[in-house]
Amino acid sequence: MLSPNKDVAVIGCGIAGPAAALFLKRAGWRPVIYEAAQEHDDYAGLFLNVGRNGVHVLEELGLDRMIRNEGFEMRVMQFRNGKDKNLGEVGHMDGKPQGFTVKRGWLQRILREEAARQEIPIVMGAKLTKITTGKDWAEVSFESGLSANVRFVVGCDGIHSALRSRLLPDAPKPSYTGLISFGGYSRGVQLPYIPGVQQMVFGSKAFFGYIVQSSGEIFWFGNEEVPGTPTRKDMLAISQSEWRRRIMDLYRNDASPILDIIANTKGEIGAYPIYDMPPQTSWSKGQAVLIGDAVHATSPNAGQGASMALEDALMLGKCLRDIGDVEGAFDQFQSLRKERVERIIQYSRSLGQRKYATNPVQVFFRDLMMPLFLKSANKDSHSWMYDYRPQWNERLQTDRDVVHHD
Ligand SMILES: Cc1cc2nc3c(=O)[nH]c(=O)nc-3n(C[C@H](O)[C@H](O)[C@H](O)COP(=O)(O)OP(=O)(O)OC[C@H]3O[C@@H](n4cnc5c(N)ncnc54)[C@H](O)[C@@H]3O)c2cc1C
């Protein structure tokens, strides 16, 4: 009798990919990661928050010490308007941190290095172009001419997933939220380092946020309302000098230190249109399943995209460990995750909607109402989001692992 095929193709080596490969290996599978990029780019993207729910998954992987040492602990967000008026704050200095802020490339690197340390092969320059799935097999083909026959495929290829569009061509497409995000890293602006505190400014034309690191480096980002359906390609077509000019103009009427921070940016300003995903009916088809941004990309406002990708990786590994058949495990995975991720996507979008305010009347009412909103937001611990704790070592018991929202 042939031994069962344990080979798995994991498509994409961002955050979900290496994390899923690590849990699959623990569950007894033989994953290989296929990544489209020719080389790893540790400077790709800006910075992100890993919520304490995501940190819990890193803990399960033995990587939480690194993020606790390297990350900026997030406890309180202080909000002001463009005239420097205090609008209130969200969070508490005591108790558990909401999470840690790190550079996106750093998080990718520690996951990828752990996968490599555990001898999980990573094939670079492997851009998925085709998938065929059969009764208990799948074949993936790549632009380079490479192909692989496996037991099943895990799509971790991000918001514009090639696997999703080939597997489920009629699935709803990512939807533009109306905002773009831009940001970078500054040095040389003298601002106090306040551990645990992130500054947020509702400017007169656009939103701005920054974190002063103990090294003096400042991580900053902004959000601007932009009509149409801009793409990342459109953003890349704008020169760096044009971005600087345009962003400086946006905050010209707002109180310091915003302009100083932007003017002292070292390296490039990154800019991204913000898309999220409408609810997807199917997360899998035949012997292939989608996880992370490929199936439930969220806007960055709630700081949960990376954490949800990490949670998926653990839960998919558990389902494939504890449920006898692969397709049954995919179905169980979707039913355990769908309600939670859709709630987070919706919550994140609602936070983004507060960042729109383009005319003086809207700005006036926003500043008037914001302290009340922040006060009520501060009462909500968001425990449903941050304290989700799937345990790897417990066997799957669907009624316990299903998320009961409060
Ligand atoms: C500006 C910005 C700010 C963000 N801020 C936050 C935040 O504060 N907190 C947070 O949690 N999240 C944030 N996110 C989102 C976060 O980065 C994503 O949710 C997270 O990276 C999802 O991980 P993933 O592995 O699913 O996808 P990705 O990280 O996008 O990885 C996908 C991988 O697949 C590869 N790939 C693509 N196509 C193919 C193909 N055809 N074949 C093979 N490989 C392919 C890509 O090269 C990439 O390496 C932010 C995102 C952006 C853009």
For 220-249, the DSSP string reads EEEEEE--S---HHHHHTS-HHHHHHHHHH
Q: Is residue 210 part of a domain?
A: no
Q: How far apart are CA 137 and CA 369, in angstroms?
A: 56
Output the pLDDT for position 324.
Answer: 83
pTM above 0.85, yes or no: yes
DSSP per-residue codes, 189-206 = ------TTEEEEEE-SSS
140 lines ligand 1 (CB under 6 A): no
> Does pLDDT of 359 surpass 90?
no
Q: Is residue 285 part of a domain?
A: yes
Which of 39, 104, 232 to probe ligand 1 with, by most ligand atoms within 8 A of CB? 104
Q: To which H or E segment does residue 363 belong?
A: helix 360-379
Nearest to 155 by CA among 14, 346, 365, 332: 14
Portion of the chain with pLDDT greater than 70, in percent: 96
Output the pLDDT for position 397.
Answer: 75
DSSP per-residue codes, 87-128 = EEEEE-SSSS-SEEEEEHHHHHHHHHHHHHHTT--EETT--E
**Of ligand 1's atoms, which has the minimum distance to the CA of residue 306?**
11
273 lines ligand 1 (CB under 6 A): no
> Does pLDDT of 125 surpass 60?
yes
Q: Is residue 43 part of a domain?
A: yes
pLDDT tens profile 337-350: 999 999 999 999 98
Residue 226 — very low, low, confident or very high, per pLDDT cuts 50/70/90?
A: very high
Contacts of 185 (CB under 8 A, 6+ apart): 217, 218, 219, 220, 265, 266, 267
Q: To which H or E segment does residue 9 belong?
A: strand 7-11
250 lines ligand 1 (CB under 6 A): no
Q: How far apart are CA 350 and CA 33, in angstroms?
A: 35
Report how many domains make up the chain: 1
Q: Is residue 370 part of a domain?
A: no
pLDDT tens profile 151-175: 999 999 999 999 999 999 999 999 9
Once rounded to an integer, what is the mean pLDDT over residues 178-185?
A: 95
Output the pLDDT for position 84.
Answer: 94
127 lines ligand 1 (CB under 6 A): yes
Q: Is residue 35 part of a domain?
A: yes
Q: Is residue 143 part of a domain?
A: yes
Residue 366 — very low, low, confident or very high, per pLDDT cuts 50/70/90?
A: confident
Output the pLDDT for position 2.
Answer: 53
The tokens of 275 are what? 């898309």
State the amino acid at position 4 in one-letter form. P
Q: Is residue 25 part of a domain?
A: yes
**Of ligand 1's atoms, which has the minimum distance to the CA of residue 37?**
47
| Residue 240 CB neighbour total at 10 angstroms | 13
Q: How far apart are CA 207 and CA 114, in angstroms?
A: 36
SS3 358: coil
Output the pLDDT for position 405.
Answer: 38
The tokens of 321 are what? 């460990």
> Does pLDDT of 281 surpass 80?
yes
8 lines ligand 1 (CB under 6 A): no
pLDDT, averaged across the chain: 92
Which of 46, 48, 243 to probe ligand 1 with, by most ligand atoms within 8 A of CB? 48
Contacts of 24 (CB under 8 A, 6+ apart): 8, 10, 31, 154, 316, 317, 320
Once rounded to an integer, what is the mean pLDDT over residues 255-281?
A: 95
> Does pLDDT of 357 surpass 70?
no
Once rounded to an integer, what is the mean pLDDT over residues 289-306?
A: 96
Q: Any idea which residue has 């085709």 for tokens?
A: 130
Domain of residue 338 covers 7-74+102-175+277-359
Query: Residue 355 is part of a domain; what is its CATH number?
Result: 3.50.50.60
Q: How far apart are CA 187 and CA 395, in angstroms?
A: 48
Q: Is residue 44 part of a domain?
A: yes
